[in-house]
Amino acid sequence: MKKEIVIIGGGFAGLNLVRHLADEADMHVTLVDLNNYNFFPPLLYQLATGFLDVSNICYPFRKLFHGKKNISFRLGRLQKVVPEENKVILSIGELSYDYLVLAIGTESNYFGMENIRKGALPMKTVDDAIRMRNYVLQELEEATIATDKAEKKKLATVVIAGGGPTGVEIAGMPAEMRDNILEKDYPELSRRNAEIYLVDGAPALLTSMSEESQKYAYEELVKMGVEVRLNKQVKDYINDTVVFADGETIQTRFLLWTAGVTGKPLDGFPPGSYGRGKRLLVDQHNSVKGTNNIYAVGDACLMTADRNFPEGHPQLAQVALQQGENLAKNIRASFHDKPMKPFAYRDMGSMAIIGRSKAVADLPKPKMHFNGYIAWATWLFVHLFSLITYRNRIKTIYNWAVAYFTKDQSLRMIIRPEVNAVQNRKP
């Protein structure tokens, strides 16, 4: 009989695992996800700022699985894991498994600050990106008719909390929009009144990258007119006011939160199953601590058995992709009573884009840093070919070409899906 493999989460790790288990005659794979599509998180900010369309970075799971007879898809939410019964309870029912793989990713970490959780905009999902685009465009529309100068300035001010790659990449985009688009789309507004702040509690941007990358990113953002505030810890967001630990405040209606992520604790695992950042503790084969047929991959897990990364792996797409592929090989090996291969991460380096023809890249072997146009072109190439289908790549490169040559894009539309009974039935 075929072994039942249930995979929760269709991100980088989960989908790569599914792909490497496709067409295996002795197993049946069921992928469960909250969405019926895969999406490419590194380009969410371009969707949020109107430079890419949803279809550029998304693709339906069921269409991806055409012709894969051993793969099924279920749209639902994981509610509980019952290890002693080898089953999971979903919002749509129950599934039994021989092997369970958790590739559930992370969620935004608000560090217990409830006002920020309620008032800030996160950037983790396609829904978040669409919500942010609608919100920003609506705020600008309100700014065009505001008569009070203080209110107009508040509506046109952007504060981005978090100086990692996501924060840096997002900060560069509205800066370029302010310089090239704002006064054309909104002649009632002046770009001089549109302020963009990038704030972080650390002493440098891109702390996981080289000092050369940190310095270049800081200098280029400042040249682009972004107010970079380091060693500034956000403590609260109340009455349209960002409050810092040192008492300083910034008035804004738009706080974007990219300051951290955390794992998602699941019903069914004891507290001892989790490590730093609420990530599931796994061994060198990605097996969850205290289990023998449950695995966790990608951002959801914390592995300290890799000798090159004794504190755990960085939460990067490449880690997730490699873990998904390695686990697929190990599952196949276990079917044939062969030894499993310990996971060892191959560091592919890191990159961050800052703006038009501006980016940074660090390579580990040989250790190398480069920036500017070459890093920018490399970033475009890597991200373009990381998209899941040729259709995504063609549509994305077309939109990028239009944006590059015109310094503009025509995707800035406010689209508000109607909330109705059908939508309320969403799992």
The full set of domain ranges for the chain reads 3-34+76-106+263-335, 114-260
pLDDT at 192 exceeding the cut of 90:
no
CATH of 3-34+76-106+263-335, one of 3.50.50.60, 3.40.50.970, 3.40.50.150, 3.40.50.300: 3.50.50.60
Mean pLDDT along residues 381-400: 92
- Burial of 235-253, coded b for 16+ CB within 10 Å and e otherwise, reads ebbeebebbbeeeeebbbb
pLDDT at 252 exceeding the cut of 50:
yes
Side-chain half-sphere exposure of 362, counting CA atoms within 13 A: 17
3-34+76-106+263-335 and 114-260, same CATH topology: yes
Mean pLDDT along residues 101-129: 94
Lowest model confidence (mean pLDDT) among 3-7, 91-95, 385-389: 385-389
Lowest model confidence (mean pLDDT) among 47-56, 350-359, 408-417: 408-417
pLDDT at 421 exceeding the cut of 50:
no
Residues classed as catalytic: 169
CA 425 to each of CA 75, 200, 381, 420, 421: distance values in angstroms, whole numbers, following the listed order: 12, 39, 40, 9, 7
Q: What angle do CA 341, 74, 393 make, to 5 degrees?
A: 75
Domain 114-260 fold is FAD/NAD(P)-binding domain (3.50.50)
pLDDT tens digits along 149-184: 889 999 989 999 999 999 999 999 999 999 889 889
Mean pLDDT along residues 55-74: 95
- The two three-digit tokens of residue 340, written as one number: 């499993």
Query: In this predicted structure, what is the pLDDT of residue 420?
Result: 54
pLDDT tens digits along 300-322: 999 999 999 999 999 999 999 99
pLDDT at 417 exceeding the cut of 80:
no
What phi and psi, each to the nearest 5 degrees, are found at residue 425? -85, 0
| pLDDT band per the 50, 70, 90 thresholds, residue 24 | confident
Query: In this predicted structure, what is the pLDDT of residue 427?
Result: 47
Please, are residues 26 and 70 in contact by the beta-carbon 8 Å criterion?
no
> Count of residues for the chain?
427
**How far is residue 280 CA from its own chain's centroid?**
19
- The two three-digit tokens of residue 371, written as one number: 């920036």
**How far is residue 271 CA from its own chain's centroid?**
26
Amino acid at 380: L
